[in-house]
Structure 1
Amino acid sequence: MLIQLTYASRTARILGPADIKDILGASQRNNARADITGALCLNHGIFLQQLEGDRAAVNALYHRLLKDTRHRDTAVLDFGEIPHRRFTSWSMGLLTSLDTNRQLFLKYSSSADFDPYSMSTSTLRSFFDEVMQNVRWLE
């Protein structure tokens, strides 16, 4: 069964460019081995990630993330069965708070700060639909 899980977490410490590069590289390697695809957004200390794949593989990855000391306040925001993958081109893409992406983050946030914790399921889905179409991804 193919599922999609969306979660948010806060960074436990300030992450520098090297940390982000390491996270992205490890995610790409590990996710490719587990046949998981997805996207990771990082904006002002908040991770928002959407994962796709076999239920057991995604569940195992999420439980590893819960133990990762770089994350705190982890919460599942959306979970469900999907008919097909949307992130077929990469094992993990990264969307950061580049100036070109800032308006998109704010468009879907209920405040001046990006806060996926307060986003409804339909807003989260619309956000990821739009980011797939219109933003600059780091791969």
Structure 2
Amino acid sequence: MLVQMIYASRSSRVLGPADIKDILGASQRNNSRAGITGALCLHNGIFLQLLEGDRTAVNVLYHRLLKDSRHRDAAILDLAEIPFRRFGTWSMGLIASLESNRQLFLKYSASADFDPYGMSTATLRSFFDEVLQNVRWLE
């Protein structure tokens, strides 16, 4: 069964460019092997990630992330069966808090600070729909 999970977590420490590059590289390698696709958003110390793949593989990955010391306050915000992958060409794309993405973060935020913990399921899905079409990705 194919599922899509959206979760958020807070960074347990300040991450530098090398940390982010390492996270993205490891995600791309591991996700490719596990048949998982998706997108990772990092903004103001908050990770927001959409994962797509086999239910068991996505579940295993999420539980591995819970043990990662770089994450705290992890929460599943949406989990649904899906008929097809939306991020099928991305083993993991990174949406960084670049100035060119600032308006997108603000568009879906209730306040000036991007806080996915307070976003509805419909808002989260709309955010990622727009991400697919309008975001500058880092690879």
Q: Same fold (TM over 0.5)?
A: yes
- Mapping of residues 23-102 of structure 1, within 5 Å: 23-102=23-102
Task: State the shift of 1:115 in Å.
Answer: 0.2
Aligned to 1:7: 7
Task: State the shift of 1:91 in Å.
Answer: 0.3
- Aligned residue pairs total 139
Aligned to 1:108: 108
Q: Within 2, Cα distance between the matches of 1:90 and 1:119?
A: 24
- Considering only aligned residues, what root-mean-square deviation do their CA atoms show, in Å? 0.4
Q: TM-score, normalised to structure 1's length?
A: 0.99
Which AA in structure 2 matches 1:117?
Answer: Y
Unaligned runs of 5+ in 1: none
Give structure 1 regions of 4+ aligned residues with deviation exceeding 6 angstroms.
Answer: none
Task: State the shift of 1:114 in Å.
Answer: 0.1
1:38-83, Cα deviation, whole Å (9 max, x unpaired): 0000001000000000000000000000000000000000001000
Q: Within 2, Cα distance between the matches of 1:66 and 1:55?
A: 17
1:74-113, Cα deviation, whole Å (9 max, x unpaired): 0000001000001111200000000000110011011100
Please state whether the residue corresponding to 1:13 is helix, strand or coil: coil
Q: Within 2, Cα distance between the matches of 1:109 and 1:21?
A: 26
Aligned-pair identity in percent equals: 79
Q: Within 2, Cα distance between the matches of 1:41 and 1:115?
A: 12
Q: TM-score, normalised to structure 2's length?
A: 0.99
